[in-house]
A and B are shown apart, each in its own frame.
Chain A
Amino acid sequence: MKILVCPLNGPRPVSEFAYGGEVRPGPDPDTCSDAEWSAHVFNRSGVPAIKYEWWCHLASGFWFIAERDTLRDAVIATHPAEMGRRPLPPRGAP
C-alpha cells in the first residue's frame, strides 16, 4: 500500500487522501484577457514532471502541498500549505 506523509497526521495510506490538482498561480481576473482566463480554467501542464500538488487528508479535512514526481509516483516532500511554494489560498482546490 502506498503511504503519504500528511504534515498534520503523519504517514497514512494514500486511500485516505484526495488529490486536488497542481498548485497553479492564476492570472488576476480583473486585468487578464478572456483567453488568459479560459486557458487558466481549462488547460493543464500534462507533461510528467516534479510538481507541487494540492492533497487533502479526508478524515481530518486538512489540505496541504505535496511535491511529487508524476513520472515515478515518488513523493519527494509534503508541506503545510503556508510553507509551500508561496501557494495560493485554498480557493484553487476542487
Chain B
Amino acid sequence: MPHRLLRFGLSRKHPEPRMFTRHENLKPAYDVVIIGAGGHGLACAYYLARDHGIRNVAVLERGYLGGGNTGRNTTIIRSNYLTPEGVKFYDESVRLWQDLAVDFDLNLFYSTRGHFTLAHTDSAMRTMRWRAEVNKHFGVRSEAVDAAFVKRAIPMMDMQCAGHAPIVGALFHEPGAIARHDAVAWGYGRGADRRGVEIHQQCEVTGIRTRGGRVEGVDTTRGPIATQRVLCAVAGFTPRLLDMVGLHTPISIHPLQAMVSEPLKPWLDPIIVSGSLHVYVSQTARGELVMGASLDPYELHSTRSTLEFAEGLASHMIDLFPFLGEVKVNRQWAGLADMTPDFAPIMGTTPLEGFFLDAGWGTWGFKAMPVCGKTMSHTVATGRNHALIEGFAIDRFEHYRLTGEKGAASVGH
C-alpha cells in the first residue's frame, strides 16, 4: 500500500465514520421504549428527541435496522387517497419529505416523478374522478386525464394492453415520488442516535410487563427494562406483540412480494399503477425497474417468494410494455404486510395505558414515515392522540366507524 494512503488511513484526523453508536449494554430503565427499528420506530425516536426533548429512549430491534418492510418496500410516495382523513395525513407527509434530506444531511434520492393510476374501464374512471375531486378539495394536485394525455406522457406503453384491457384514462398525481428506502431509516436512525437515543439491534422484545392496566416495562432477549411508555411499531409482527398484552385488532398478516429487473437506460420517468392488471412499476436512479402486484391471497407469516407471483406480475408487465419480454428479472423478495379491513392504519393510544400503537401499515406505510414520526412522537410525549390521527384510532371498529381507503390503497401502495 502506498505510504501516503497508509498515513491517511491510520491518522486520527480521519476516523472511520460510523452511522450509529454501538451500545454494549441496555440501561435498566428508559423514558420511552420503541419496539421495531424500521422507519416508523426510528422516525418517532427522531422527533421525540428533536421536537420534544425526550432523549432517554431505546429503540429495540430483533433483527437489523431497516431489515423489515422498510428495506423491502417499493418506495412509492403519494397523497392521492380517497378519504379526507387519508388525504390530509399523506399530504402532510409529502410536505415533510421535501426537506428531509437537508434535515438528515443525507441523500435520500427523493425523486418526484408524477404518478399515473391507469383506468381500463368506465367504472375505474369514475373512481379516478372521485379521488381527483377529493384531492383538489384538500389542495392536493391530482387530475383525471384522458387516454391521449397518458399516451403523450408514456409513449412506450401499449395503450391497448395487448387488446384485452385498453386504457381509457388515468388519475395523474404530479407530486408522486420515489426515494431510497434504506437511507430514510439510516437518516432517522443517525439523527436519533446523535441526539442521544440508543438503538439496540439483535434485541427482541419477548414480553411486556403491566400492572393495573398500565405498562411497567418490557422483557427482552438481553434482559428486562423498566419503562412507562412503549411504542409498538413492528408491522408484520404486530399481532404477536398485541398477543403479549391481550389486545385484539382486525390486523392479519399477508406476504407482499416484489421484484426488480436488471438495470436499463432511463426510459420510464413516471410511476405507473394499474389496479385492473394488479401491477405497478417505476424505474430507479440505478435503472432497475421496481415492480409489484397485489398481496398474497392468504394469511402467512413467511417471507418466501413464489413462482406464481413472478409469472403473474411478468405477464401483466408485458401487457403494458411488450418489449420487457427481453429483460431479465434480477431479484424477488417479500415482506409481511399487516392488513386492516378498511386499508387505513391503527395508530395512537390503546386501552392499555402507556402502550402506543403505530401499525396496520400494510402495503402503504413507507410514504407515511415522516408524518407518523411527527404524530406518534406528539402522542407518546403528551399521552393524547394527535389531531391528524383521530380517524385511525383502535376503537373505530367497535363503533363501526371505518376509514374506507381501499379504493385508493389496495394495489397502488
A residues whose Cβ falls under 8 Å from a Cβ of B: 1-2, 14-15, 18-19, 22, 35, 38-39, 41-48, 51, 53, 70-73
Contacts and interface: CB of A to CB of B under 8 A. Distances in A.
A25 to B, nearest CB: 16
Contacts of A15: 308
Contacts of B251: 44, 46
Nearest to B300: A73
A46 B252 contact: yes
Interface of B: 238-240, 242-243, 248-253, 297-302, 304, 306-308, 338, 341, 397-400
A78 to B, nearest CB: 14
A42 B400 CA distance: 9
A32 B155 CA distance: 59
B264 to A, nearest CB: 30
A71 B397 contact: no
A42 B299 CA distance: 16
A89 B308 CA distance: 32
28 contacts: A18-B297, A19-B297, A22-B299, A35-B398, A38-B397, A38-B398, A38-B400, A39-B248, A41-B397, A42-B397, A42-B398, A43-B249, A43-B397, A44-B251, A46-B238, A46-B242, A46-B249, A46-B251, A46-B252, A46-B299, A46-B338, A48-B240, A48-B253, A51-B299, A70-B299, A71-B302, A73-B300, A73-B302
A46 B249 CA distance: 8
B143 to A, nearest CB: 35
B307 A47 contact: no
Residue of A41, A44, A45, A72 most packed against chain B (CB within 10 A): A44
Contacts of A46: 238-239, 242, 249, 251-253, 299, 338
Nearest to A55: B298
Contacts of A73: 300, 302, 304
Given A1-B308, A38-B398, A43 B248 contact: yes
Nearest to A48: B301
B406 to A, nearest CB: 15
A19 B242 CA distance: 24
Contacts of A42: 250, 341, 397-398
A19 B298 contact: yes
Nearest to B399: A38
Closest 4 CB pairs of A and B: A46-B239, A19-B298, A42-B397, A48-B301
Contacts of A14: 308
Contact of B243 (A1, A38, A41, A47): A47
A1 B309 CA distance: 11
B104 to A, nearest CB: 34
Nearest to B236: A46
A89 B400 CA distance: 25
Contacts of B307: 1
Contacts of A45: 239
B292 to A, nearest CB: 19
Contacts of B253: 46, 48
Contacts of B249: 43-44, 46
Contacts of B299: 19, 22, 46, 51, 70
A72 B60 CA distance: 26
A72 B252 CA distance: 16
Given A1-B307, A15-B308, A35-B398, A47 B239 contact: yes
B232 to A, nearest CB: 13
A50 to B, nearest CB: 12
A64 to B, nearest CB: 14
A41 B399 CA distance: 11
A82 to B, nearest CB: 23
A94 B67 CA distance: 34
A58 to B, nearest CB: 11
A48 B338 CA distance: 13
Nearest to B307: A1
Nearest to A14: B308
A22 B253 CA distance: 13
Contacts of A51: 299
A51 B299 CA distance: 10
Contacts of B399: 38
Nearest to A22: B299
Contacts of B252: 44, 46
A58 B26 CA distance: 53
